[in-house]
Structure 1
Amino acid sequence: MSEKELTDLIERIKERRLKLEMSYQDLSDATGISKSTLQRYETGYIKKVPINQIEILAKALHTTPSYLMGWDNTVTESPSVTLTPRDERQIAADLEKMLADLDSKNAMAAMGGTVEDDEDRELLKASLQATMRLAKKIAKEKYTPKKYRHEEE
């Protein structure tokens, strides 16, 4: 690891930890890395951070390893919440209802007809499913009190 990569890593770990309002203890709890080791990483006392720990830190800090390493300038925040099996079942049920409604002539009249090609139908289904999953994650993030957010991971 070059000096610049180490400097970028140190700055970005600290920046993300502070942005997420995490203490060393919070980050330690989320990663399994000791609090003192995390402090040594941030101060630059430890000059070599194992790759597997960079991945663990990135996940806990809701970003990517490439961002932490300074290879990518986009934070690319990963959602801090995950969908439960119940959420997935609800999305699947809602998606099936939506697709059934699309098959009715009245629902599709405004769009010029029904979706007849199987490939187009599958693309539409995948697009709707991805959008519904993202919307559910955003809603959970927005409406979950901060004090409970780290317990879900």
Structure 2
Amino acid sequence: MTTFEIVKRLCEERKISINDLEKSLGYSKNTLYRLKTQIPGSDKLATIADYFDVSTDYLLGRTDKKRYYDLTEKDEQDIQKELQKMLDGLSTSGHAAFDGRTIDELSEEELEDRELLKASLESSIRLAKRVAKQKFTPKKYRK
């Protein structure tokens, strides 16, 4: 995928046109269309990357990760393990208010509550992991 195609897709995600992006960045008309055949200079590449909050490597098609702090497949696996540990801890400690009953014995309302709790915990773990990656990733790895 070319840099132009990546920029075009990012524009579509933001619901703006290539011409609108050129105006926002202060570029002359058709500047970004030249990305179809030319590799952009580092200054243009950095400006576009900053505008979309993505890495320059992503714009060049070198990686599928838009940002250095995006979660990887391993991060997702770790989140699921941590979530399962939390849910197991809740059910064995009696704090989940299901009184030691199995899932088959729970009412519809209790099952919905359990799913809402699970979704909330998963969302919290995911957010905490992203924030930690943003805060604690050394600058030399932030590309």
Normalised by the size of structure 2, how large is the TM-score?
Answer: 0.50
Normalised by the size of structure 1, how large is the TM-score?
Answer: 0.47
